[in-house]
């Protein structure tokens, strides 16, 4: 089942974000550097385009992402109109401190007490928006936590008479188009736990790591990956970490092993991992398009069969006759 998560408070938060944006100069969109496109909320893009606001994309948690993939993503985003992209880690104060100057470049006319630079932090849940705000103002003004939807309302902080910043609640959107985006978001804990099954998310992540980073699995858990499938990886983690169901003859506890595996990815214990690159994303989109076309063709065929089944017998005979017009009988030709 594809993952969807759009709780009610986000609809309200989206409306409020649109209202606040009218009085904002630059949008700071925080993305997860491990899957920046999967963590790009199309509703945020639409809002900023509607309000014609420049955007600084922060590929945050770069300390957890594969540096090669991050470089490729920066090239990709920096080619987009009205967008500047940088990779940072909110854990590094020096990287955070550079951000206001980058925003100032995007709105050079807003640089005095009468026209302060007005910045707004936006993004999906749990990408580090509030951590960024705290790091920027060097104080714990916003609550943070490693779970989605910690921030529930907007909060403004005046950095100086010339600059202020607004933190906003994490926003998802009503329908995630690509199924694998939902899995990536869930793996990185951007989706509420009530909307996902951890074992399924862990199995998705295991499958991806088997293809792209098998050596990390061996390095972390000490098992060889040859011949294993995704479920086999979780089973092997269960055995290595002693996750066995009590009184069931040593059967693996998939649930507990899944949580350990997901936490290892989220904490960076598996090393620096990116779940997508511009290339893998292009392939995924092409594959999804082929699947969608096949599904549409199957539906059309089913609809045509159903329509034919409803036809009276005479019409059925006509509709199954060749499409070229029947030739006239010899005697008509002669006449
Ligand atoms: N490793 C790493 N962890 C980070 C970074 N930035 C934030 N985090 C962690 O990510 C988790 C989420 O941070 P928050 O700042 O609460 O995220 P948010 O985007 O405000 O989340 P919501 O308010 O729920 O939308 C916290 O556990 C942070 O410590 C980073 O650059 N690197
Ligand atoms: Mg927050």
Domains and CATH numbers, the chain: 8-167 (3.40.50.300), 197-267 (1.10.1580.10)
3-class SS string, the chain: CCCCCCCHHHHHHHHHHHHHHCCCCEEEEEEECCCCCCCCCHHHHHHHHHCCCCEEEEEECCCCCCHHHHHHHHHHHHCCCCEEEEECCCCCHHHHHCHHHHHHHHCCCCCCCCCCEEEEEEECCCCCHHHHHHHHHCCCCCCCCCCCCCCCCCEEEEEECCEEEEECCCCCCCCCCCHHHHHHHHHCCCCCHHHCCHHHHHHHHHHHHHHHCHHHHHHHHCCCCCCCCHHHHHHHHHHHCCCECCCCCCCECHHHHHHHHHHHHHHCCCCCCCCCCHHHHHHHHHHHHHHHHHHHHHHHHHHHHHHHHHCCHHHHHHHHCCCCCCCCCHHHHHC
Is there a contact between 202 and 211 (Cβ–Cβ < 8 Å)? no
How many A from CA of 113 to the centre of ligand 1? Answer: 31
**pTM, 2 dp:** 0.90
DSSP at 335: -
Statement: residue 320 has pLDDT above 70: no
Q: pLDDT of 76-129, one tens digit each?
A: 999 998 899 999 999 999 999 999 999 999 999 998 889 999 999 999 999 999
Q: Is 116 left (phi over 0), alpha (psi -120 to 50) or beta?
A: beta
Count of other CB atoms within 10 angstroms of residue 236? 21
Residue 157: C-alpha distances to residues 39, 118, 133, 141, 144 (Å): 25, 10, 9, 8, 16
Mean pLDDT across the stretch 34-46?
Answer: 97
Q: pLDDT of 151-194, one tens digit each?
A: 999 999 999 999 999 999 999 999 999 999 999 999 999 999 99
Residue of 90, 141, 269 to test ligand 1 pocket, by largest number of atoms within 8 Å of CB: 90
The minimum-distance atom of ligand 1 relative to the CA of 127 is 19
Q: What percent of the chain has pLDDT over 70?
A: 93
The minimum-distance atom of ligand 1 relative to the CA of 62 is 31
Residue of 128, 168, 270 to test ligand 1 pocket, by largest number of atoms within 8 Å of CB: 128
How many A from CA of 23 to the centre of ligand 2? Answer: 21
Residue of 58, 70, 144 to test ligand 1 pocket, by largest number of atoms within 8 Å of CB: 144
Q: Residue 194 is inside which H or E element, if any?
A: none
Which residues does 287 contact at the CB level (< 8 Å), separation at least 6? none
Mean pLDDT across the stretch 251-272?
Answer: 97
Confidence of residue 332 (pLDDT cuts 50, 70, 90): very low
Residue 56: C-alpha distances to residues 103, 158, 234 (Å): 7, 19, 38
Ligand that comes closest to the CA of residue 89: 1
Is there a contact between 149 and 107 (Cβ–Cβ < 8 Å)? no
């Amino acid at each position: 089942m594809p993952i969807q998560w759009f709780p009610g408070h986000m609809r309200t938060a989206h409306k409020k974000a649109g209202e606040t944006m009218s009085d904002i100069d630059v949008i700071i969109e925080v993305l997860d550097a491990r899957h920046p496109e999967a963590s790009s909320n199309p509703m945020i893009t639409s809002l900023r385009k509607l309000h014609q606001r420049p955007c600084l994309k922060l590929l945050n948690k770069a300390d957890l992402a594969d540096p090669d993939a991050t470089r490729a993503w920066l090239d990709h985003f920096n080619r987009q109109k009205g967008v500047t992209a940088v990779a940072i880690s909110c854990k590094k104060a020096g990287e955070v401190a550079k951000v206001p100057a980058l925003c100032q470049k995007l709105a050079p006319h807003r640089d005095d007490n009468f026209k302060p630079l007005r910045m707004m932090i936006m993004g999906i849940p749990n990408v580090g928006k509030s951590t960024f705000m705290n790091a920027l103002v060097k104080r714990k003004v916003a609550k943070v936590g490693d779970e989605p939807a910690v921030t529930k309302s907007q909060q403004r902080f005046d950095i100086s008479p010339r600059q202020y910043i607004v933190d906003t609640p994490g926003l998802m959107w009503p329908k995630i188009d690509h199924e694998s985006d939902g899995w990536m978001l869930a793996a990185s804990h951007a989706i509420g736990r009530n909307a996902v099954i951890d074992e399924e998310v862990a199995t998705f992540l295991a499958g991806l790591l088997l293809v792209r980073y098998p050596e990390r699995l061996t390095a972390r858990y000490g098992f060889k990956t040859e011949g294993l499938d995704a479920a086999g990886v979780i089973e092997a983690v269960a055995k290595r970490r002693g996750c066995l169901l009590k009184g069931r003859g040593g059967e693996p506890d998939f649930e507990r092993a899944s949580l350990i595996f997901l936490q290892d990815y989220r904490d960076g214990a598996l090393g620096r991992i990116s779940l997508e690159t511009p290339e893998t994303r292009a392939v995924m989109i092409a594959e999804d398009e082929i699947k969608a076309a096949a599904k549409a063709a199957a539906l059309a065929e089913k609809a045509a069969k159903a329509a034919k089944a409803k036809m009276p017998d005479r019409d059925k005979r006509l509709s199954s006759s060749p499409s070229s017009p029947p030739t006239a009988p010899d005697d008509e030709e002669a006449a």
